[in-house]
Structure 1
Amino acid sequence: MGIDISTMDVCTSQLNYGPGSETALATIRRVLEGPFNFIDAKGEYWQGAEGERCIGRAISEAGGLPDGFVLTRSVGPALALDFSGDGIVRAVEASLQRLGLDLLPLVLLRQPEEFSFESATARSGPLATLVRLRDQGLINHLGIAGGPIDLQLKYLQTDAFDAVISYVPYNLLDRAAEPLIQNTVSREVAFVNAAPLTGRLLLDGTGRSTQGMNRERVPARLERSDKMRLICAAYGIPLAAAALQFSTLDPRVASTIVGASTPSQADFVTDLAQWRIPSGVWDDLLDLVEESEPAISCRDDVIPTTDPLPCEDQGVSFPAAVSH
């Protein structure tokens, strides 16, 4: 299970914390404690170089990355002025220095729809450069993050990738990513689900939000989410706990990522992941899942961002830690 910290600067600003604040550092420290094993930092998306230095400080304080822990660094036109092979080499070397690491666990080719497949896969182009850096031992794994399913499948055909971070929904209400999951499993590529909550529609306390990854809020989907919320309420279970575990309990999903910006949000995600859910709840929920409409095409309907948790001052009730 992982945390996306790319929205940390936005949330800490809303909570009147300054960039590079102790809150950001405390959040990263908390994530490194577990049970998380994945941080999606998205490179310059979060406070640029200062964000990576903050992560590097937390890693140093922890005595290094925990065994098996995955930390991402992304490359793409939106993340650097120079998206050439040489530019990627410089970006990787700079990240290694800021993070205090000898190799980057996972480097992502992010938002591939922003550049042509031909330019990305050209000789001495971005993908060839990343493969070379992996061969040299500066990168452990390569992944692709975002983009329409058809485009992600096209990149997977190159056999260059070890992981996919998908923002195409896979959750209780929308299983549009199913074809991508099946393809990654057949290729023994890790599938990372970054859309377990349908934006905030499955998150308790946010109601019928029109915000989030899927812009379309069809009546049937809203009705199903209401039914699911009632099923969970009858057992005293947050719908968000079932939504998160629908992903984390799927053996085909290597990791599930939720956006979090404070230590309390990391605790909140931990509680949701550990909530005990009776089999009867799953029976009722999965009946509704099976009745859902065929997976919608998300080609033009996906905002490439991880499902975020709202800041604590936005009227969301964060439950206390649960007993187990």
Structure 2
Amino acid sequence: MEAITLGTSALGREPGGQRLARELVSGRFRQLDTSNEYAGGRSETLIGQVIGQVPGDGVTVFSKADRDPGTGVFDGDRVMRSFEETISRLGVSTLPVYHLHDPFTITVREAMAPGGAVPALVALREQGLVGAIGIAAAGGTLVEDYIRTDAFDAVLTHNRYTLVDRSAEDILRLATERRMLVFNAAPFGGGILSGSPRHASRYGYRPISPEFGRHVEKVRELCERWRVALPAAALHFSLREPRVHSTVVGITSVERLKALDALVDAVIPDAFWEELDALGAPPPSPVD
């Protein structure tokens, strides 16, 4: 498992997607995260097209099962259809990791019942069509409930474990107890830790509180004192966490992909992290 996974939720939504897909497949980082529903399936389609066109030996693609886009149905039959759609678009026969994605239209009980989404995922694993099954969802307590079923091998948490947020602590603890594979997505908190002025007042795509904003400003000032780029600190916060096996970084452009090299290669002194700890626990984030 590589430390960096490239997120492709934006792939297929913008012009020039095929060029970005080629760069994703042929670049330094060799793991991609996609999903059945990203850009209506276009993310998977573009990845599948370029894997066949560009030398991409060793590229690993993870994907996710999604509910029916029209009806919201998310039962076992839908998981099987979602899987077939995904492997057809990608041009592969198996997947190393396959997640249950944002199961918001069903309860955990419904997902676990005979004919439900989770038994279908287990069947795919037993048939050798997927190597591991995971839960990937935005809700913190919902993810914890799925982890406690002990059905899953992996978990993907999103906007909940960052330089300014520790709300995924219970997820990491539960996953580590079960020796699960952990993907930590969105280390920049939806943009606020990337240094983008456009996202300065939002975290995880939601408005921040004054208290949360003050804490972010303290972290920003700490970075300035140490001459550490804020996005580099945000990325390395996740990379240095031993319970996280891979950090998922969303890539929206070729330029952002190229900029990732410098962030990954940045060297941050141990004393910086000591001062970060001295700031104390972050206040509740908008995604709690």
Normalised TM-score (structure 2): 0.88
2:35 is matched with 42
Deviation for aligned residue 1:77:
4.2
Q: Which runs of 4+ in 1 moved over 6 A?
A: none
Return the alpha-carbon distance in structure 2 between the equivalents of residues 45 and 246 of structure 1.
27
Distance of 2:40 and 2:253 partners within structure 1: 15
Quick check: 211-220 or 236-245, which moved more?
211-220
Describe the SS at the equivalent of 1:166: strand
**Could you tell me whether the CA contact under 8 Å between 2:64 and 2:99 is conserved in 1?**
yes
How do 1:271-282 and structure 2 match up within 5 A? Answer: 271-282=262-273
Q: CA deviation at 1:79?
A: 7.9
Letter in 2 for 1:5: T
Quote the residue 1:263 is aligned against. Answer: 254
Query: Per-residue displacement from partner, 1:221-270 (whole Å, max 9, x unpaired)?
Result: 22232222222223432111001100011111111112212111111223
Indicate the residue corresponding to 1:317 in structure 2: none
Question: Is the 8 Å Cα contact of residues 172 and 243 (structure 2) preserved in structure 1?
Answer: yes
| TM-score (norm. length: structure 1) | 0.79
SS at match of 2:231: helix
Higher relative contact order (CA 8 A, sep 6+): 1
Tell me the equivalent position of 1:306: none
Runs (5+) with no aligned partner, structure 1: 18-22, 303-324
Judged with a 3 Å threshold, the aligned counterparts in structure 2 of structure 1 residues 63 and 97 are, in CA distance, closer, same or farther, namely: farther
Check if 1:218 corresponds to 2:209: yes
Deviation at 1:78, TM superposition (A): 4.2
Counterpart residue type for residue 7 of structure 2: D
Residue 64 (structure 1) shift: 5.2
Unaligned ranges ≥5, structure 2: none
Which residue of the partner structure matches residue 186 of structure 2?
A: 195
SS in 2 for 1:88: helix
CA displacement at 1:208 relative to structure 2: 6.5
Match of 2:53 in 1: 61
Residue 105 (structure 1) aligned to one of 80, 90, 96: 96
After superposition, give the CA deviation of every residue in 1:164-204 in whole Å (9 maximum; x if it has no partner). 11125111211010011011001011121113222222221
Matching residue's letter, 1:287: A
Q: Matches of residues 1-324 of structure 1 in structure 2 within 5 Å?
A: 1-10=4-13, 12=14, 17=15, 23-48=16-41, 50-63=42-55, 66=58, 69-78=60-69, 83-206=74-197, 209-213=200-204, 215-288=206-279, 290-293=280-283, 296=284, 301=287
**Contact 1:74–1:108, Cα closer than 8 Å, also in 2:** yes
- Matched residues in 2 for 1:224 and 1:61: separation? 47
Letter in 2 for 1:60: G
Rounded Cα–Cα distance in structure 2 between residues aligned with 1:259 and 1:230: 25
Does structure 2 retain, via aligned residues, the 8 Å contact 1:45–1:79? no
Judging changes above 3 Å, is the alpha-carbon distance between structure 1 residues 201 and 270 closer, same or farther for their aligned structure 2 residues? same
Task: Give the drift of 1:82.
Answer: 5.2
